Amino acid sequence: MARPNLLYIFTDQQRVDTLRCYGNELIETPALNGLADESFVFEHTYVSQPVCSPARATMMTGLWPHTAGVPACNVPLAAEVPTFAELLPDEYRTAFMGKWHLGDEIFAQHGFQEWVGSEDSYRRCYSSAERLEVLSPYHHFLVDNGFEPDSENQGQRVFSRHFEASLDEEYTKATFLGDRAAEYIRQSGDEPFALCVSYLEPHPPHTGPLNEYFDPALLPTGPAFMQQPPDDAPLITRLMAAFYMQSENYGLDLRTDAGWRALMARYWGNVRLVDRSVAKILQALEDSGKADDTIVVFTSDHGEQMGDHGILGKTLMYEESVRVPMLLRVPMLNKEQRRIAGNFSHIDLVPTLMELLGLAVPEPMQGESRVSVLRGEAVLDGDVFIEWNGADGHIPHSIGEAEPNRSMVHPLRTVIAADRWKLNIYGQGQGELYDLNTDPHELENLYHRPAHRDRVCELAGRIRTWQQVSGDEAALPDDLH
């Protein structure tokens, strides 16, 4: 029997509530809605670290960021750390298209035979000077269509992200990647393939050809929208909110409700843009006759605050930053939507895919296959853990104050327990405890409440046990009060 194909699609910075299957009835994502209708929909999926490179390391390797050697952004994934593509049998054709953000951005590596890079923003992280002579396929696509680079990066004229995001839809990265991925699928032969398509959108610069597609006044907001964290919140969250709530970003006044809503409408527009691209890929899969033989994954590397708690961006442990969509279509197991309750971590994604492909899960992987859950033989009833490993260049832009830098240098560890209680322990400073059952928007920090002292200690013990098992040496305080 032939092995199944794998189509692994992920976006950058897409929060969970941007799809209909997670409760958003207004956003238009027909392709992803259709995928969800035939998929396992994981209700609570968490990233390994709420920033790009570490999260992507986990998504590619099944290792925690601290184990994979990618504790921060712009740290390359070492050649000796294998991705799942390097563990596939030789019969597989493999391809990676889009944003990589794990070193040597536009060059084939780590078991992917074909590589279609889209980013020229990470040139300072190339491993050799010779590689600076090479520009991405997307760059050449734009040049071939008559555009001229508007910026300079490491000695070459390149296109800035702001320029790229100003283009008509037919020239966007999302359209480019959708077309290339669809072509790859249509030209695939009898050998099984594993194709990763990694979108930059809806990551900043928060603009695009569909900026006006959604009416800002109609966008739903929750109770945390534009609500600055209280005095008992950690310093970093208070400083970030104070900055953003008094700022102008992406040409919009974030001191106002109208400014935040306009930004959110642009963000939704880029989610819609991705959906149109995904539609091309899924149609190509149908046209090829391989849909029933192909496992399809859709998720994101981390979320986006988008005004909740008065903050823009990621890097924090709020649900908007750490919880993402997770759709898994496995036609050989199920062809209708089935919701998977409980907590799921990206650490378990690669091991799950390996088993679905009929392969053994290698010993070094730290995650666990959840195929038994998909088969209905088990449930997700465990804790999930999230890490932050110190300042990594993703300090909120333009804040210019020393305190955020000092705050983000310290490690942070989070546990979200099976019973939906959440504890954040910071290397220094104020901890956080939330009851996600009654306070899903994390408005009330219960960390210092005497009635919850035992709970804090018990959850902290789970974090320390996880540290021992996973080889995590981050220093956390012994005295939690």
CB 104 within 8 A of CB 117: no
Please tell me the distance from the alpha carbon of residue 15 to that of residue 324, in angstroms, as a whole number: 5
Of 103-112, 161-170, 234-243, 347-356, the range with the lowest mean pLDDT is 234-243
Inform me whether the pLDDT recorded for 13 exceeds 90: yes
Instruction: Give the DSSP per-residue string, 282-318.
Output: HHHHHHTT-GGGEEEEEEES----TTBTT--SSSS-S
**Per-residue confidence (pLDDT) for residue 318, from 0 to 100:** 97
- Determine contact, residues 354/6, Cβ cutoff 8 Å: no
Residues 66-84 as b/e (b if ≥16 CB within 10 A, e otherwise) read: bbbbbbbbbbbbeeebbbb
pLDDT for position 430: 80
Q: Which of 189, 4, 186, 177 is nearest to 88 (CA)?
A: 4
Quick one: CA torsion of 42, 392, 125, 162, rounded to 10 degrees?
70
Residue 394 has pLDDT above 70, yes or no: no
- 8 Å CB contact between 47 and 324: yes
- Residue 397: is its pLDDT beyond 80? no
Question: In the prediction, which pLDDT does 404 show?
Answer: 46
- Nearby residues of 479 by Cβ (< 8 Å), 6 or more positions away: none
Hey, which residues does 45 pair with through a beta bridge? 324, 344
Report residue 92 as tokens.
């597989």
Domains of the chain in sequence order: 5-381 (3.40.720.10)
Instruction: Name the CA dihedral angle for 204, 430, 440, 346, rounded to a multiple of 10 degrees.
Output: 60
Average pLDDT, the chain: 94
